Amino acid sequence: MATQARVRLLVGGGATVVLAAVALLVPVEPRFPPAWQSPTQAAERAERDVPTLGLLWGKVRGWSRVGTGWTVLWQPSHGMWLVSAWVPDGPGEIRWRIDAAPWLPGVRLSGAAAEVLTGLTGGVEQARERLGRRDWQVGESRLLGALPAGGELPSAGLLRRPVVLAVLVGLLLAGAVSRHLVPGVPGRGWRYSVVSVVLLLFATLPELPALAPMTFQPGVRPWVAELAFGTAAVLLLGALMYAGQRFPATAGSPPVGWLPLALAVGTLAGRFEPAIWLVNVAGLTLRLPVLVGLAVLAGWLAGIAGSGLRELLRFSAFARVVGLSLLGMAGVGFGGAWTGVTLAVVSAAAVERGWGTWMGMGVVWGWFFGSLWVVARWETALWDALVFVLLGCGVVAVAHLAREHRSATSESPALP
């Protein structure tokens, strides 16, 4: 028996090593330019290099990755204007822009900024006070103080897949209903996990508005924007916590034989079609707890959608094989930024109920890791990505060993 166990361990270990090598070493052409610096570094560079615009910038409120650079947003506490700058990773030119509240009687730009905007240097600037705006007369050119001032910033292209999204939402609803109609033994550990990560995300809430720069608007004070974001986040997380109690994952041991495969598939999916928004998360100071929280919630949701898909395809074994294969291929072919999620749902549906959430989470975990590895290339983010994946492996190992220990204890003969 011991020899058999050793052989199994060796085969499993070997397969895991091969899968890890495949996931990490298969050459994949990156579809998005990686970020070589963090948003904090980009903000520091902008504050250093952009000439003073004659107005208070305020604090850094948010950022988003656009093309080969970061768009960083500043807003003073009175909220009357927004300063945004697009900072390229390399030595390129920083582009900036000011958006002010429409009712503001024009922000007085500095003379230097007026010269830059009019393209006339060395002229004599004359400040002109107007009703509703503050102008500059530079030579024959007049710069209207009515804002926005500055240039257009590059914008991120939309990566929407409405059909994939609609299918996933439908599967989530089907999964939620199926967990009531076809009840299994609820996993207490999963319930605790969902509650714990929601509480963890609550704790990181003050940092999270930086991920939603569109919340900050000229004329709206930043605390109100943060309140709006915080309220939305609390409602969403509260709903997830509630759903975690009402639609818990089915109890089951971790499928240690399959999890390396899930992790490898997720990593490959992340490298092939990275979740580009994760690079914004990587810019947070508390990125590790946020990543863990999001991964657990996404994995659990993938488990629910997987339950729905499993029940929908239960009527025939052939339909199950064909349906899962088609959905998997469609996810890889057309999923775009949703590839990882689609594969997580398919993986969760492909195994038995007790393993569904584990498999979904395995794929999501790998997808997050692969995405971060591809898009967030500054040192601290890479280290945290590594810690993130090791943390996941460690938790699975502990869960597996604890279960083995429990089974061994229950099987040992009772002492006289």
- Binding-site ranges for other proteins (CB under 8 A): 79-80, 101-105, 131-132, 173, 176-177, 180-181, 215, 217, 219-221, 224-225, 227-229, 231-232, 235-236, 238-239, 242, 245-246
Q: How far is the CB of 236 from other proteins (least distance, A)?
A: 7
Nearer to other proteins, 229 or 368 (CB): 229
CB closer to other proteins out of 210 and 291: 210
Nearest to 381 by CA among 250, 279, 260: 279
Residue with structure tokens 């204007």?
81
Q: Which is nearer to other proteins, 160 or 246 (CB)?
A: 246
For 147, the 3-state DSSP assignment is coil
- Nearest distance from residue 152's CB to other proteins, in Å? 23
CB of 275 to other proteins, least distance (A): 22
CB of residue 149 to other proteins, shortest distance in Å: 16
Q: How far apart are CA 367 and CA 341, in angstroms?
A: 8
CB count within 10 Å of CB 370 equals: 30
Cβ closest to other proteins, residue 259 vs residue 345: 345
Nearer to other proteins, 60 or 241 (CB): 241
Report the nearest approach of other proteins to the CB of residue 135 (Å).
15
Spatial separation of the C-alpha atoms in residues 253 and 363, rounded to whole Å: 17
| Residue 237 CB, nearest approach to other proteins (Å) | 11
Omega of the bond leading into 148 within 30 degrees of 0 (cis):
yes
Rounded Cα gap, residues 123 and 100, in angstroms: 26
* Phi, psi dihedral angles at 86 (to 5 degrees): -100, 120
H or E stretch covering 293? helix 287-312
Q: What is the Cα–Cα distance from 289 to 297, expressed in whole angstroms?
A: 12
| 97 within 8 A of 150, measured Cβ to Cβ | yes
Q: CB-wise, 102 or 394, nearer to other proteins?
A: 102
